[in-house]
Structure 1
Amino acid sequence: DDVRAFFRADDDTTGRIADRFVGSPEIYGHKQRDVEESVNFVSCHDGFTLNDLVSYNEKHNQANGEGNRDGADENRSWNCGIEGPTDDSGVEALRNRQVKNFLTVTMLSLGVPMIGMGDEVRRTQFGNNNAYCQDNETSWFDWALLEKNSGIHRFLRLLIENRLLRDLDAEQRHLSLNQLLSRAQKTWHGVKLGDPDWSPSSHSIALTAHLPKQNQCYHLILNAYWEPLEFELPTGYPGPWRRWVDTALDPPQDIVPWRTAPAVSGLTYLTQPRSVVALYTEASE
């Protein structure tokens, strides 16, 4: 719910999405559990699909025969300007961007990611958020979506590939990227380095994760604001920052294979409205 609210640009959500990204320590910390034991998801079998989360403001459960009274009324969804299916290219582009935003945060947040069946190709239930009784095209998987939304499928596939990349820690144990990030030195920022804006009206945040033993540094920018924002980039590294993800870009530039990420020039990065950017660099020579 907090991630949904953040990318809907609700007030007072920046601190909450930061907590969710680092494994919800305020929930699990006192239980002495590792962050890998938490489960992260934006959508699941119960409620809106990920596509419907960015396509409908209201539930549309009339086909269930209960006068649209069943199912949750508050879904923290946003239709990006038009309710339901549309041929408007601008609205569709924004919906694709929002889907990629949700997938990126889900896959990179500390913990175990859970992706709903079909979310990788924008499966829809036509706004029905309680489709348990619909054994028909409302709940079936439409395989034609694999071609129609191949860009989203590719995006998630590359996110998963990188998450599964493994490295060795100081004890020569194989750790996933998620496990490595849980051990990283983390610093929060706003548009200015070292100055995160936790105020209720803030809609953006950035995080640097430093892994000195792996000689790598990651920088994540979340901009849920409706205008572009220019974020300062950390300096003092021998190599350039490289852009792995920018959800505002069209495929195939929105995400690239890890080792082919292009270098970023300059001391700032102009982050487009309602987008997520992931950069990395080498921490030392």
Structure 2
Amino acid sequence: ESESLGLNDFPTAERLQWHGHSPGTPDWSEASRFVAFTLIDSVKGALYIAFNTSHLPVTISLPEWPGYRWEPLVDTSKPAPFDFLTDDLPERDTAIKQYAHFLDANLYPMLSYSSIILVLSPDNDA
């Protein structure tokens, strides 16, 4: 999964979508303390990357992709080893199930001063 983080070229507007607390609604104001983007690669899939620089936690709405679901890869608010959920982590499935009720609703809770990377995966339950 971390292979998805490598790019061979600069992303174009079609491959890079900016978001705020809701998909497609970035807040570029000076007061905003949250920014997110989706990076789409036709071969490697898609990543959702977000930064919450506020002192307050937020629950964000994720872009919907029919037949797919978002799975956490990185969450800097979690203690190790749950901050980076690699495929070889024995507790990975358990950790992902803890997010299921949020992810099923296309939501994700972020603590203050944290960042996340979510990976788009086929939804086997769909």
Shorter-chain TM-score above 0.5: yes
CA shift in 2, pair 1:283/1:205, >3 Å? farther
Cα deviations across residues 249-272 of structure 1 (Å, max 9, x unaligned)?
A: 111111111475736422211111
User: How many correspondences in the alignment?
Assistant: 112
Query: Larger relative CO (CA 8 A, sep 6+): 1 or 2?
Result: 2
Q: Which has the larger radius of gyration?
A: 1
Bigger helix share: 1
Counterparts of 1:248 and 1:218, CA distance in 2: 18
Per the alignment, residue 177 of structure 1 pairs with 5
Per the alignment, residue 29 of structure 2 pairs with 199
* TM-score using structure 2 length: 0.75
Q: Identity over the aligned pairs, expressed in percent?
A: 24
Gap regions ≥5 residues in structure 1: 1-160, 166-175
Q: Which runs of 4+ in 1 moved over 6 A?
A: none
Per the alignment, residue 275 of structure 1 pairs with 114
Gap regions ≥5 residues in structure 2: none
Counterparts of 1:181 and 1:270, CA distance in 2: 31
Q: Does 1:190 align with 2:20?
A: yes
Counterparts of 1:238 and 1:203, CA distance in 2: 31
Counterparts of 1:234 and 1:180, CA distance in 2: 24
Matches within 5 A, 1:229-244: 229-244=58-73
* TM-score using structure 1 length: 0.35
Matches within 5 A, 1:55-204: 162=2, 165=3, 177-180=5-8, 182-183=10-11, 185-204=15-34
Counterparts of 1:256 and 1:243, CA distance in 2: 7
Cα deviations across residues 89-124 of structure 1 (Å, max 9, x unaligned)?
A: xxxxxxxxxxxxxxxxxxxxxxxxxxxxxxxxxxxx
Q: CA deviation at 1:183?
A: 3.6
Cα deviations across residues 112-163 of structure 1 (Å, max 9, x unaligned)?
A: xxxxxxxxxxxxxxxxxxxxxxxxxxxxxxxxxxxxxxxxxxxxxxxxx93x
CA shift in 2, pair 1:202/1:215, >3 Å? same
Counterparts of 2:7 and 2:121, CA distance in 1: 18
